[in-house]
Structure formats: structure tokens, C-alpha cells
Structure 1
Amino acid sequence: MAAIKTLLIMVMLATGIRSGNRSPEAPVYEAKRDYYAAVFLNRSHVSVGASANIGLFRRQSDTLWANIYRPNLFTFGIGMWAKGSTKRYYIAAGNGVHRSDDGRTSWRVLTDWRTEEILSLALDPVDSSRLYIGTPWGVFRSADDGSSWQKKSRGMKKGFVQKVVIDHVQRQTLYACSEDDLYCSTDEGENWKPLHVGVSGLMTVVQNPVNPAHLLVGTEDNGVRVSFDRGKTWKNAAGLPPTAFYALCISSDLETVYAGGYLSGVWKSRNGGLSWDPLWQSDQLEAVYTIFVHPENPRHIMIGTSGQGIFESFDEGSTWRQAGLRGCHVKQIELYP
């Protein structure tokens, strides 16, 4: 029997709802899989009755979601650590990191931080006790399941860290997107060195899961930059507009890359991110915050949008349909075993 996998989705509740383009021949939601969504209120998009639609949601049908956990209004990162029968789910929320040890039924807060700015969360794939978070004050690390945290930002000039990523091959190597550059640490965050991307305002970074030397970064207003040598040199991506790109995703074929951002729609590259073509340009897409490509079926794509919820494609982006959580900002999509 195939293992059931879990899809976790980060969303921010907002107003402004339009219907999506639907593909009449597209497959419907697979009931055998468990999909989850974390929803929270956006400061600039407050609507009446919105407080009931925050927290962690489970997908019930094609477009229906049920709320199963409400941490607070602001949630920026999610993660899962699994080994054997042990599964731990984490949420980085406004008041700190939350954890569930019983399949997402009960939760406890691991920290008591008075901040709404934990921007990203990364879990060590081998050591379940080690976690990293990105904040406006830099990178913090925990070595005791989130019970205590230490700032690990030595070498960073500026601390606003939008994204922290653990290397797929060398888990002691980390990448962090900061205001001024992409930084790399080879000693589990103790020391950081800039990789000199050549632009500031980095929003996200992705690493090729098979070729760890292949990196891509999305920037605030300079499109996408690509490296094939672990950040020693960088190339400008051709064909993209000079706008913010929040979302990057490498498909399982390892050459196809998808990108999305502010007022740019969804873009597709067939050569590892060197050149791009528009995939879906629609007035429904004010911003694309996240892109998910199914690891076992690269034709299945999901995008998280600003205020329009989730859109889904089963033909590599030729047609799209609305997949629920309309009126929400979708921040992150992950598939967990």
C-alpha cells in the first residue's frame, strides 16, 4: 500500500475573491491523501468574521477545508520531522514555535516571544532536536527541540532573514536570504559568509535536490539569479520582468523551474532557470507566494496566491482551477510523508 502523505499549506486570510479558471477534465481531490492548510489574518486585509478562519486546516474535499488548529493571527512557517513512527509537526507563529507530537491533534508553544516576525522555519533532517528560524534579527538555532534558542548570525551585515534552507547533501551547510545578500554557513550556523549575488532584497532561495551546486534566488525587484557552483558565480535569468519574485520551485525532472511573484503571474523555465517564458498571466494573480510541484507527478502543480487562495493544475500549467481557501493568502505548500 502506498504511504499516505501530508500536504501542509501556509495561508494568510484576506478579502477580494474571484473565481478561478477551471479545467473540466482535471482530476478531482484524492480522498486517500491528507492535505493541510495554516491560515492567518493579514494586517492589511481585515474582513468581518475573519477570526474564525485562522490556524491549521485539513482538506475535506475538492475545495472544502476544515479548521483543526488556531495558534494566533500570524503564522509564517511550517515543518515536519519524521523517522519511523515518530512524527513532529511545527508551526512558526507570531508568539513563537508550536509543536504537535500526536498527529496534529494537540499543540504546545515552545517559546514565548513577543514578536509577529518569525519569517521562516527549517528542520534538521537527521537530528530531530535541531531547528532554525529566520527573523528580522537574524538566524536563531535550537538544539533541544525548540525549548531554548541562540542567535547564530555571526558574519551577517543585516539581519532581516526571509528564508533559511538546509543543504540537501551536507546538513551542516545552511543558506539564508537577508536584506543585503545570500549568506552561507558550513558549520550549522555558527559563522556566515556572503555569496555576493550582486543584488539586495533577497526573498527566497531554492536548491536542486539532486545537484546541490544549483541554486536559485528570488529578489525584491530584480527577478531571479541562478548559480551552478554553490554560489561562487551568479547569472541573470533572461525573460523575467524586473519585479519581486517570492516563489521558486524546481520540478522533479530537475531542469524545469517555476517562478511567481508580484504582478507577474507564473513563469516556467526549461533550462534550470537561465531563461523563462510566461506560463499563466491572469488579473486574478496579484501575487504568487508559493509554488508546489508534486514530487511523483510533475504535471500536478499548486500555487498559493494573494487573496485568491489556491489554484491547481494537472497538466503542467496549461489549465488551472480554484482549489479552495478563496479570499486567503497562501504562504507555503509542502508535502510530507
Structure 2
Amino acid sequence: MALPRLALVPGEPAGVGPELCVRLAHRENPAALVALADPAVMLEAAERLALPLELLPPEAAMAARPGQLALQPVLAATAADPGHPDPANAPSLIDALLLGAEGCLEGGYDGLVTGPVQKAAINQAGIPYTGTTGLLSEHAGCEVVMMLANPVLRVALVTTHLPLREVADAVTAGALERTLRILHGALQADFAIERPRIAVLGLNPHAGEQGHLGREEIEVINPVLEALRGAGMDLRGPLPADTAFLPGTMRGFDAVLAMYHDQGLPVLKHSGFEQAVNLTLGLPYPRVAVDHGTALDLAGRGLADPSSLFAAVDTCAAMARARRARRGVPA
């Protein structure tokens, strides 16, 4: 039974990503991993951690043992200085992300796992970049949805990084329907849930209090939910966000759809930040990222917790197996 083959992009070379990948390489993993990175960056990270690391060619990924890591070289422009990102290295990071994405589209990889990036360093290099989610969406030519998950919750978002005063205008019928269709399809394809049950949060306090605290639930959200229920989706809501996350309520659902970033993600992160991962739903392949930043203050000190990267690999491998099974390919 062949392991899923995953592309692994450590992320910002001056952040904690490379050392997290070294720790990952010392673990029994549920996938064959191919790192897309500068070999010198990886070996220097291993040396700082006082851990042995043997780099293998990409074709040896299936045979890698703990302490070994298959690697496709993507050379950085300058040496990595932990804690101090150099914009000169931004092009190689973008190259690694797109190389992994292209490999997934061509069938060489079954999924993509990404470490943390430093957006400021990429923008300082003159590269227009708002995030890896947008980069991969544009590359694949498809619309996507951001979802965060841990062993307790899955929370997808209608809007992501918007100022709060812009959220209400962005929660349109079209955006809500598109998000629900992508979320529903991903739960089926990536998590093997044939009839997903989705809790949809209201936008306003108390889900609008029958129009007394806002009419978005009546005029936008309810009509979309009714139409999609008619199409066969199992949707409940709009639910008041302040009580929707009670354990007794959540046990009945496979995912929650929040209207905006800070409506759903604080609860998810409180329930298990260390194991949380960030998923890009709607791509032609599974993509899972760590749910933390570059942690420049920890870089090079060997103190960074690899739990989120471990969870990202486990999640991406499970999603790849689910997609194989759906296509009738032996897992």
C-alpha cells in the first residue's frame, strides 16, 4: 500500500520552518515527504538542533527512514540568518511554493504541506503577495475557502482578512453560496463525509434577534440556506455565535461556517492551538499549512513546537487517501 507523496515547503528560511521540518524528518510519518528547499538551510537547521539529517534525492522519498529527508533543491539567494528574514530569499520561497503546487497539478505529489512565511519580507522584495492561499488559488485558477481545523473543530470562513466595518457588505448571497458549496464538497472529497452536517453562524448578535439586531440573517443568510437545503445540503442556522460552540451543539456537526475571522477562530484556537492547521479547500489537491507564524524570536533556538506541522502532515496525508478512495484508487 503506497504512502501518499507530499511536497513539503518549510517556508521562510530565517523562521522556525526549517527546524520544524528537521524534527518532522525524525518522526515516523504517514506520507513520503519531499522537501522543496535549500539543502544548506536544512543542514544548518539540523546542526543547530544537534540532530543528524541525511538528505536523499526526491525519488528516494518512499524509502526514507527517521533521520532522512528527500529534498528537491530550491536554492536561496543568501544564507539564512535565524530571526532576520532577507527579502533576497523571497523569490526562492515563491518558487518552492509554485513548484510544489505545479507538482500536485501534474500528479507528482498527492498534496502540499507548507510552513510559515513572512509576508513583509516577500512584499519588500517587490513581489505582490497577500498570502499563500491566494497564490495557490490564482495558480490553480479556482476559487477557494479557508478552513482551520484541530481534533475538536473544523471552522471555515466566508470572509477572511477584512476590517470589521467591511464584513457585513462582503457577506453576500453569492459569497455565502460559493463558500458553502466548496465547504460541502471538500468535506465529502477530503474527509470522506458523504452527508456533511454544517452549522452556519449568523452575522449579528443573537443571529439578528428576528431583525431587531440586523437583517442580514433574514435577507441574505436564510434564503441561501433554504435554497441549498432544497439542493440536498444538511445545514443548520443561522445560529447565534455565542452559543453555537457549546459542546452539546457541536457534537452534531462536521464543520462550522463563520461569517468572519474573529467570530470562529478564537474558539478553535482556544480548543487546541498547538494541533491546529490551516486548510485551503477547493484546490484540485489537498493543501495544509501550519497555523502559526515564523516565530522569529524562537528561530535558531530549538524551542519551537512542531505539533502543528506534524498535524499538517497527518491531515494532508489523510485527505490524500480520502481523495484516492473517492477515485477508486487503493489507499
The interval holding the TM-score normalised by the smaller chain is 0.3 to 0.5
Higher RCO, 1 or 2 (CA under 8 Å, sep at least 6)?
Answer: 2
Return the structure number with greater strand share.
Answer: 1
